[in-house]
């Protein structure tokens, strides 16, 4: 009777390849998964996933877009929101978007600012890349990264908040102002 080593080698190779695929599947992804919402602001906020509803306004008078993402904690009614702004020069490609100052606010009860972070000046403006603009359906899409510094009114320390791998897709309203 002749014994073949072929089935044994095949079994070892299959077992090794399954183990290799399992290890690879555990590796974390670079980009956050897409948002389940149609209109959203999504980013890694200080290393944690932040995915919230997104809205936008286009100021015709200034030629500026304001994109906001916010969430509300019910019970205490605390609203936390990030607003990033940019302008698109007329007749220029979408890639020529000019970033404007950004801010993050924590508002309690609808009118009391409890905490605030903002860009520290023109050298710390967010990086913004517009990837789509539909002026008929009024939808703007893009990617962003921002580092905001806590306002001195709330602390003497130089605390920062970082948004990385950010993306947004919002429906915007047009304002004459």
pLDDT for position 50: 94
Q: What was the pLDDT predicted at 2?
A: 46
The verdict on pTM exceeding 0.75 is: yes
More confident site: 145 or 156: 145
Query: What DSSP assignment string belongs to 60-124?
Result: TTTTEEEEEEEEEETTTTEEEEEEEEEE--TTS-GGGPEEEEEEEEEEETTTEEEEEEE--SGGG
pLDDT for 37-93, tens place per residue?
A: 899 999 999 999 999 999 999 999 999 999 999 987 766 788 999 999 999 988 888
Q: Mean pLDDT throughout 105-123? A: 88
Whether residue 144 contacts residue 129, with contact meaning beta carbons closer than 8 Å, is answered with yes
**pLDDT class of 140 with cuts at 50, 70, 90:** very high
Check whether 29 has a pLDDT greater than 90: no
Q: What is the pLDDT of residue 31?
A: 54
pLDDT surpasses 90 at 103 = yes
* Of 15-24, 111-120, 141-150, 152-161, the least confident: 15-24
Tens of pLDDT, residue by residue over 4-13, are: 443 333 333 3
Q: What percent of the chain has pLDDT over 90?
A: 58
Please name every residue paired with 172 in a beta bridge, in sequence order, or none if there are none: 56
Separation CA 69–CA 84 (nearest Å) = 9
Is the predicted pLDDT of residue 125 greater than 50, yes or no? Answer: yes
Q: What does the alpha-carbon distance between residue 175 and residue 144 come to, in Å, rounded to a whole number?
A: 23
Distance CA 13, CA 70 (A): 51
């Amino acid at each position: 009777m002749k014994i073949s080593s072929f089935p044994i080698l095949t079994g070892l190779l299959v077992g090794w390849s399954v183990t290799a695929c399992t290890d690879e599947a555990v590796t974390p992804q670079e980009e956050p998964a897409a948002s389940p919402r149609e209109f959203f602001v999504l980013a890694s906020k200080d290393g944690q996933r932040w995915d919230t509803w997104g809205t936008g306004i286009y100021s015709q008078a200034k030629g500026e877009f304001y994109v906001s993402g916010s969430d509300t904690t019910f019970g205490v009614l605390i609203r936390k929101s990030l607003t990033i702004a940019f302008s698109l020069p007329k007749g220029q490609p979408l890639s020529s978007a000019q970033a404007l100052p950004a801010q993050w606010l924590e508002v309690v009860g609808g009118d009391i600012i409890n905490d605030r972070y903002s860009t520290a000046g023109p050298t710390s403006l967010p990086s913004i890349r517009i990837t789509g603009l539909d002026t008929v359906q009024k939808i703007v899409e893009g990617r962003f990264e921002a580092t905001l510094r806590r306002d001195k009114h709330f602390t003497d320390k130089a605390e920062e908040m970082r948004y990385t791998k950010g993306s947004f897709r919002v429906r915007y309203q047009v304002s004459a102002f």
